[in-house]
Amino acid sequence: MGVLELIQSLEGHKGRVWNVCWHPSGETLASCGEDKSIRIWMHDKSKWVIKSILLEGHSRTIREVSWSPCGNYIASCSFDATVAIWDQKSGQFECNTTLEGHENEVKSISWSTSGQLLATCSRDKSVWVWEVTDDDYECAAVINAHTQDVKKVRWHPEKDILASASYDDTVKIFKEDTSSSDFICVATLASHTSTVWSLSFDKTGNRLVTCSDDQTLKIWHQYEPGNEMGIPTPDNEPVWKCVCTLSGYHSRTVYDVDWCKLTGLIVTSCGDDVIRVFREEDDSDVHQPTFSLVCKLDNAHTQDVNCSQWNPVTPGLIASCSDDGTVKLWSYSD
Amino acid sequence: MLSSFLRKLSLGGKIRDGLLLDDKNVMGTAEDCVKPRSLCYELSLKDETELRESIFDILRTIKDPEKPQTLEQLDVVYEEGIEIKEATPGGVTVIRVIFNPTVPHCSLATLIGLCIRVKLERHLLAHFKLDIFIKEGTHVTEQEINKQVNDKERIAAAMENPNLREVVEKCIREEE
């Protein structure tokens, strides 16, 4: 069994902390929440300290923050229906662009790996794709594929392929149609029996892990046309199959999941206040993989854990946040 | 005795949650909704029966959003509808509240669910988990409402909607 050791608890937010996001360098962390602030934390000598607090970008809860791949921008989205883009050209972070268009709460935001596309989603059931050119943001697509709130959007680690998770219990995959240059839904992943709260690609982008209010995790595998398993691929589009369901581990809603691109470990954030780490077995068959729970920390937080993210550079380093108002840093070791 | 104790306590509290009824009037001007928390209960000190009684005491005086009566008077909440379930792995109490909407198509069921959640979260100081369900077979869109009143993100967003918040505040206000 692995061990999660608390490195530090970061206090300062007032009320629920919804989301944390690591800077691509792994040296800085951003967090956001109910208090409408974004806090930026840095490692200084032996401990983590608050570096800046960004205020006045949003008039309601900030649901998610995301560093651009270049590390120079932060995008934030809020229940106030807007998206804010922060840059530090003046020496400190300032909100210089606000993106409007969603009808109500914007719940998730994600930069594509190239940094040229930004995706957002909302309770208005739509997913928007914005084209980024220098400091200009233009709406490239409004996708109305889900029948209910869209909870999460995440880009493929290499390609301009987008995945979204929804209150309609499904996950959808979108990509740009080469002929119409519009984003179209190319796959619907249906198997969860309640809201899908979050998802994460593995480092190759060929697999996805999803988490749900149905208290399970699911692993999905992409089968390309002409795959060796002989799985049919209608319309010559890749097909996503659920190849593993992890049930019986979580006792309440699973709010977030993150698949580590460095170690292949999966961390989950649950409404039962527990942080869990799963590892794929060494002899796991890719078409029927097996994962085992290698760490379970009860009372990781005193209330619901909303988000846990692996550091992109330091293996085993996790940042988590909770309804209890804290952000915590953990070190996982086998 | 417990209820008279409750009535004397002040009304302040920290709102942490909210809920969406429809797509209209959701956005407005937001304002800070954090007030000092006061009224408190220590969950850990109580046994199950006592805890259920305290929960019922908190819920019974909630006013119906449309009628002058309380949820107790309308039999929307009732003591048997409050259950203490198996605790979380970390030992946090899990409370289940089942309520009985007045009519099968009652459009206010989600609002009642919202009032129940907000009032309990404000008045029970200790940490707990709350699941709210409509009594089986009493509402045409039962599952839809159950899903909605237990989605904490929707609830949080709804309580940042000034119009909705005002309605909830009115329903859960304790009479002097």
- Cβ separation A298–B89 shorter than 8 A: yes
Give the chain B residue nearest A276 (alpha carbons): B89
Per the structure, the count of domains in chain A is 1
Task: Output phi, psi for A268, to 5 deg.
Answer: -125, 150
The CA distance from B74 to the nearest CA of chain A, in Å, is 31
- Please tell me the distance in Å from B116's CA to the nearest CA on chain A: 19
Label residues B7-32 b or e (16+ Cβ within 10 Å = b): eeeeeebebbbbbbbeeeebbeebee
Flag if A299 and B157 touch (Cβ within 8 Å). no
pLDDT tens digits for A279-311?
999 999 999 999 999 999 999 999 999 999 999
The domains of chain B are located at 48-172
* pLDDT band with cut points at 50, 70 and 90 for residue A49: very high
Name the one residue in this structure whose structure tokens are 């909440």. B77
Full residue range of the structural domain in which residue A190 is found:
3-333
Q: Which CATH number covers residue A272? A: 2.130.10.10
Nearest CA in chain B to A58: B30
Q: How high does pLDDT run on average in chain B?
A: 77
| ipTM value | 0.94
Q: Among B20, B23, B27, whose Cβ lies nearest the Cβ of A81? A: B27
User: Residues near B109 by Cβ (< 8 Å), separated by ≥ 6?
Assistant: B101, B134, B139, B145
User: Residue B160 and residue A107: Cβ atoms within 8 Å?
Assistant: no
Of A59, A61, A274, the CB nearest to B156: A61
Q: Where are the beta strands (DSSP E) in A260-297?
A: 266-270, 275-280, 291-297
Contact check, Cβ <8 Å, B153/A63: yes
A232-278 residue pLDDT tens: 999 888 999 999 999 999 999 999 999 999 999 999 999 999 999 99
Mean pLDDT of the A92-105 span: 95
pLDDT reported for residue B23: 36
Residue B2: per-residue pLDDT:
35
Please state the CATH superfamily assignment of the domain spanning residues B48-172 in this structure.
Answer: Fe-S cluster assembly (FSCA) (3.30.300.130)
